A and B are shown apart, each in its own frame.
Chain A
């Protein structure tokens, strides 16, 4: 930038800068304001993308009771969920001793699926309790 432009950015008086219009001047002059222009309505577009449709999944039929059934306790790997499930296991031992409990840590990082485990539960289990969150 040249000196004149720099000085005018400072807002220095044109006395020193003959012929240079001050930069921080008026905007283009326009006609007088319309009556209450802020009340005029305008139309804008919705910026949202298109979400996928959701396939509803019917929940699995419930068991008549847990007596004599096999319940899988699945740990998804978050801090502390194994310890919590262990307490759940102890609760069943105390209160519903006929329930068989199987503790499983889901393989892989928490965002990954574990198809072999789901297959095992499908074959051997009757119900699942999953712990997530820390």
Chain B
């Protein structure tokens, strides 16, 4: 708007004060005249909102409307009309020399960590990490942003620094390069607090001693623990994500962001095709596949869960889908025992089960339209005639429709130690599979 020569005043609620200012700066208008109303606006009556309008800006303490009119009419000063390019400073290339304790505090206090202790990335440690890949340290790996922000670029060396900090060994490095090359940050800026997950396939799982048996998704092995954590550090330091109030707006946060749900598939004990092979890779390829969405939950609450004689895991998984939003897909993690039982039931391929689940998990069109994000993201596509959303918005409220457009929206992966036939369900969407071998 200002670019068009029209004076404008953005107005936001108080909660977004920091965000509005820093966003304006990133877009090149550090002195934009933003005004703020009390928070929230949502759910308030007309009378309450009139009181906001006639009251003060809670940030500046001045009358709101006076501020708006001043914002449109008070002449600009020299700084406001500045033009040109401005470089953003991220500090010197090396910190120190200093003691390890002081460096630990420095990294923590400057938002470069997840607030847990790190391995200090000394030049020696970073060099050792770089030996984990044949790629040149100065090669640009990719670009990353945590949302609708200008993306930052980064090199192999910068990924290595973060890998050291997370506690990774040099042999893990190609996985981190593969993850970073996707440009996907593990901390998205949305006000919804999203979860992230990665599925790792191929012989590298055993080479690195990844845990895919008992406690597969818990804190029981170094590669599972540190590779997942490194994704969050990469999101913060290379993608400028995870700054609360600026590039992270998740109101409540998500507890899975500490590790980002690292899943090494238990290919050995699974009776089904490994995930990367489904995606067109060879069994001997090493691949990391990334997911994003809401959460992961256990199947214990499903109808008929864990029944004694003949558990019907197909019904149970379908039942768990009742509390998923259609905006994100389903990632189902099955213990090998669960898979054995499903194969006995006749689901000898993943495709047979996803096909059944897709056909047999239905909801009314009304429930679909009333679920989170659907109005924001699917409705505009429905208006453009995109299927199946167009049909799902046209049909009567009581019509039963599937949760997702295709059976492919349901992903099955095997992990677990066969101590009990359990499964977990993530409301998570597949984004991309990246070859790890290319980064070796």
A86 beta carbon closer than 8 Å to chain B = no
Q: Which of A7-15, A61-69, A94-102, A108-116 makes up part of the contact surface?
A: A7-15
Can you name the residue of chain B whose Cβ is closest to the Cβ of A2?
B21
Q: Which residues on B are within 8 Å of A, measured CB to CB?
A: 18, 21-22, 25-26, 30, 79, 86-92, 95-99, 102-103, 106, 110-111, 122, 124, 243, 245-246, 308, 420
A57 beta carbon closer than 8 Å to chain B = no
Q: Which of A3-29 contact B (CB under 8 A)?
A: 3, 6-7, 9-13, 15-16, 22-29
Inter-chain pairs besides A9-B243, A10-B88, A134-B420, 6 sampled, C-beta below 8 Å: A22-B89, A24-B90, A25-B92, A27-B96, A30-B98, A38-B124
* 15 contacting pairs across A/B (C-beta < 8 A): A3-B21, A7-B30, A9-B22, A11-B90, A12-B30, A13-B88, A24-B110, A26-B95, A28-B98, A30-B96, A30-B97, A30-B98, A30-B102, A33-B97, A38-B124
User: Contacts A25-B91, A28-B102 hold; do A9 and B30 have CB atoms under 8 A apart?
Assistant: no
User: How far apart are B305's CB and chain A's nearest CB, in angstroms?
Assistant: 13
B89 with A13: CB separation less than 8 A = yes
A13 with B87: CB separation less than 8 A = yes
In the assembled complex, which residues on chain A have CB atoms less than 8 Å from the CB atom of B95? 26-27
B22 with A7: CB separation less than 8 A = yes
We find that the number of chain A residues with CB closer than 8 angstroms to chain B is: 26
Which of B89, B102, B308 is in CB contact (< 8 Å) with A24? B89
User: How far apart are A58's CB and chain B's nearest CB, in angstroms?
Assistant: 31
A1 beta carbon closer than 8 Å to chain B = yes
User: How far apart are A73's CB and chain B's nearest CB, in angstroms?
Assistant: 19
A105 beta carbon closer than 8 Å to chain B = no
In the assembled complex, which residues on chain B have CB atoms less than 8 Å from the CB atom of A1? 18, 245
In the assembled complex, which residues on chain B have CB atoms less than 8 Å from the CB atom of A9? 22, 111, 243, 246
User: Contacts A12-B30, A26-B92, A27-B96 hold; do A6 and B103 have CB atoms under 8 A apart?
Assistant: no
User: How far apart are B79's CB and chain A's nearest CB, in angstroms?
Assistant: 7
User: How far apart are B54's CB and chain A's nearest CB, in angstroms?
Assistant: 26
A27 with B103: CB separation less than 8 A = yes
Q: Which residues on A are within 8 Å of B, measured CB to CB?
A: 1, 3, 6-7, 9-13, 15-16, 22-33, 38, 79, 134
In the assembled complex, which residues on chain A have CB atoms less than 8 Å from the CB atom of B88? 10-13
Distance of A31 Cα from B26 Cα, bound (Å): 37
User: How far apart are A65's CB and chain B's nearest CB, in angstroms?
Assistant: 36
User: How far apart are B430's CB and chain A's nearest CB, in angstroms?
Assistant: 33
A31 with B110: CB separation less than 8 A = no
B97 with A16: CB separation less than 8 A = no
User: Contacts A7-B30, A27-B102, A30-B96 hold; do A22 and B25 have CB atoms under 8 A apart?
Assistant: no
Distance of A51 Cα from B143 Cα, bound (Å): 51
User: How far apart are B128's CB and chain A's nearest CB, in angstroms?
Assistant: 12
In the assembled complex, which residues on chain A have CB atoms less than 8 Å from the CB atom of B110? 23-24
